[in-house]
Amino acid sequence: MANANKKEVIGICHLCKNLRPLCNSHAIPHSFFREIHQRNNGQAIVISSAPGPLRKSNDSGADRLLCSECENKLGNDLDAPAYHWMKSTQEKLLKGAVSGSVEVNSTMMAKFITSMFWRASVSKNDLYKNLIVSQQEREIMRMSIIENGNPFEQMSFSIANLYDSKKQFDGVSLSEFILQPTTWTNANKPSKQKLLFLTIKGFLIVLITPRVKPSERSRPIYLSPKKDRIFLRPSDVRTNPKFMEMHDVALSKVIERDSKQVDDRA
């Protein structure tokens, strides 16, 4: 495994477009998976709406995407500070020490969210097959995360704090739940706007493109380039149809697996 990973693969870096050796890059930073893997013998439960049994996996969605310079830049400038913000904010939320508005580096966070969806959109890893992004949207995202790029020009971002109104999942379980990046379109209300979402660390992360209208934009639930605070709106997982659809599939698979384990023990 280690040898296979060391084998050099030369290609065009998706971010800087230079021909260089490519790293095995993660869209959702590996740190988010590492923590779950550590608690579950090196594996995470992968939730997907695909048929077949629930699978445990050590796959954290890597693909050859970036040269080492771009990989390190995204890792240091975005992934590391975003992970630390989410981890510490989630810990405070679980202790009940945070309500409503919290401090956040808005530009860093907006770039981090953009970079995750962008990396997922260029990756061929199976984990990202629910994400539908056009060539044009992909380029807007790429331009927003490079030096001096402004993610707020064409996109809006919100971060909500997940909870379960039926209390089937507590905050700790929700924070261990990674819902793969997904494009959501409202079939009943056609709109030009596209919504990309995923859940990590107990947060529902949403990117909207094109950005919401000016009167909406000033609402505290959106990241704003003008202020380093955001209102962490509580979001009931029961009201997210895509989440529930996948959750129902996953739950039936969990029940199936658990009953099988009971049979095995008998």
Name the residues that contact Zn ion, by CB under 5 A.
13, 15-16, 67, 70
Choice between 144 and 180, CB closer to Zn ion = 144
Closer to Zn ion by CB, 14 or 247: give it.
Answer: 14
Q: 13 or 174: whose CB is closer to Zn ion?
A: 13
In the complex, the smallest distance separating the C-beta of residue 16 from Zn ion, rounded to whole angstroms, is 3
Rounded least distance, CB 115 to Zn ion, Å: 13
Considering the complex, what minimum distance in angstroms separates the CB of residue 29 from Zn ion?
A: 17
CA distance 254 to 252: 5
Q: Could you tell me the smallest distance in angstroms from the CB atom of residue 31 to Zn ion?
A: 21
Instruction: Compute the least distance from the CB of residue 71 to Zn ion, in Å.
Output: 8
**Considering the complex, what minimum distance in angstroms separates the CB of residue 91 from Zn ion?**
34
Looking at the Cβ atoms of 16 and 108, the one nearer to Zn ion is 16
Cβ proximity to Zn ion, 16 vs 212, nearer residue: 16
* CA terminus-to-terminus distance, the chain: 37
Residue number, 19 or 50, with CB nearest to Zn ion: 19
Q: Tell me the C-alpha distance between 112 and 201, whole Å.
A: 14
Given the complex with Zn ion, which of 14 and 211 has the nearer CB atom?
14
DSSP the chain: -HHHHHS--EEE-TTT--EEEEEEEESS-HHHHHHHHHHTTT-EEEP-SSSS--EEE----EEEEEEHHHHHHHIIIIIHHHHHHHHHHHHHHHTT---SEEE--HHHHHHHHHHHHHHHHH---GGGTT----HHHHHHHHHHHSTT--GGGT-EEEEEEEE-TT-SS-HHHHHT--EEEEEE--SSS--S-EEEEEEETTEEEEEEESPPPHHHHTSTTB-BTTBSEEE-EEEEGGG-HHHHHHHHHHHHHHHHHHHHHHHHH-
Question: What is the closest distance, in whole angstroms, from the C-beta atom of residue 234 to Zn ion in the complex?
Answer: 39
